[in-house]
Amino acid sequence: MLVHIPQLLGAEEVALSREILLQQPWQDGRLTAGHMAAHVKTNQQLSRDNASAQKIGDLILDKLGQSPLFMSVALPLKVLPPLFNRYEGGTSYGDHTDNAIFTMPNSTMRVRSDVSTTVFLSEPDAYVGGELVIVDTYGEQRVKLAAGDAIVYPASSLHRVEPVTEGVRLGAFFWTQSLVASNEQRQMLYDLDCAVQQVLTEDSASAAARRLSGIYHNLLRMWSQT
Ligand code: NI
């Protein structure tokens, strides 16, 4: 399941972030790729120690915390700080699946990647190519969103970034360990939550919505791990 979060960052925030990011010292993306992924990755990334990138990462985390849509779709338990990538001059990231386990920076805490998120930081008409292609249950989904928008998808999915042949594509990406490890269970909870919200929009006093909401919370109680 892919879920599009529009305008996670506002126009001014994303423009300022882009301006700052372009001035940073970019590194070969293979430094942070897993053994298998390093063979297919030619983009550039910023070091986790980069203070400007950390600030923008904090802004993204702050915005996520205020997004009911992200909360509903990801059911976050632990969120890794965002990383940043840059594609230009034909660079790409071929088909891969993200690593399952990461360590929280400056800590020994392990984080299982259940959910991947990409935040698009460049306007789609500022570069050619660069689609995020995700193999979903229903085939390949090609994603190229407005700057400031985010896409949330299962970390277990096979995905790639197409070569950027003109312009520059900047993006932020990060992984979330969800309260609910199973993609299927998480998707059902999301669908149920959407249905409850829809019923409540039509009838804020709906008794059915109250019962469905009870089922939502009892399923979450049954399926969540903390
Ligand atoms: Ni990936």
Distance 25 CA to ligand 1 centre (A): 22
Distance 117 CA to ligand 1 centre (A): 9
Q: What is the pLDDT of residue 218?
A: 98
Could you tell me which of 168, 101, 172, 100 has the C-alpha nearest to residue 128? 168
Distance 48 CA to ligand 1 centre (A): 17
| Order of strands, sheet of 159-161, starting from the edge strand that comes earlier in the sequence | 93-96, 159-161, 132-136, 139-143
Q: What is the pLDDT of residue 131?
A: 98
Distance 6 CA to ligand 1 centre (A): 21
Compute the radius of gyration of the chain from its Cα atoms.
Answer: 18
Q: What is the pLDDT of residue 28?
A: 85
Distance 53 CA to ligand 1 centre (A): 19
What percent of the chain has a predicted confidence (pLDDT) above 90? 90
Q: What is the pLDDT of residue 6?
A: 98
Distance 89 CA to ligand 1 centre (A): 20
Residue located via tokens 């925030």: 13
Distance 212 CA to ligand 1 centre (A): 35
Amino acid at 69: L
Task: Note the pTM of the prediction, 2 decimals.
Answer: 0.94
Residue located via tokens 């990409």: 118
- Rounded CA separation 206/57 (Å): 40
Distance 159 CA to ligand 1 centre (A): 6
Distance 123 CA to ligand 1 centre (A): 20
Q: What is the DSSP string of 28-91?
A: EGGGGS-TTGGGGB--EE--TT-HHHHHHHHHHHHHHHT-HHHHHHH-EEEEPPPEEEEEETT-
The band of 46, judged by pLDDT with boundaries at 50, 70 and 90, is: very high
Distance 126 CA to ligand 1 centre (A): 22
Distance 94 CA to ligand 1 centre (A): 9
The band of 36, judged by pLDDT with boundaries at 50, 70 and 90, is: low
Distance 96 CA to ligand 1 centre (A): 6
Three-state SS string over 137-175 comes to CCEEEEECCCCCCEEEEECCCCEEECCEEEEEEEEEEEE
Q: For residue 214, give the DSSP letter.
A: H
Distance 54 CA to ligand 1 centre (A): 20
The CA dihedral of 9, 146, 117, 178, to the nearest 10 degrees, is 60
Quick: pLDDT tens for 4-35.
999 999 999 999 999 999 999 999 887 766 66
Distance 157 CA to ligand 1 centre (A): 9
Is the pLDDT higher at 136 or at 155? 155
Q: What angle do CA 192, 193, 197 make, to 5 degrees?
A: 115
Could you tell me which of 91, 93, 187, 171 has the C-alpha nearest to residue 136? 187
Q: What is the pLDDT of residue 137?
A: 80
Q: What is the pLDDT of residue 35?
A: 64
Environment class of residue 199 by beta-carbon count within 10 Å: exposed (0-12), middle (13-18) or buried (19+)?
A: middle
What is the mean predicted confidence (pLDDT) over 191-195? 96
Q: What is the pLDDT of residue 39?
A: 67
Distance 102 CA to ligand 1 centre (A): 13
Mean pLDDT across the chain: 94
Distance 98 CA to ligand 1 centre (A): 5
Could you tell me which of 96, 91, 95 has the C-alpha nearest to residue 129? 91
Quick: pLDDT tens for 114-151.
999 999 999 999 999 999 999 988 889 999 999 999 99
- Rounded CA separation 159/1 (Å): 13
Quick: pLDDT tens for 62-115.
999 999 999 999 999 999 999 999 999 999 999 999 999 999 999 999 999 999
Per-residue burial over 22-56, b if 16 or more Cβ lie within 10 Å, else e, is: eebebeebeebbeeebeeebbbbbbbbebeebbeb
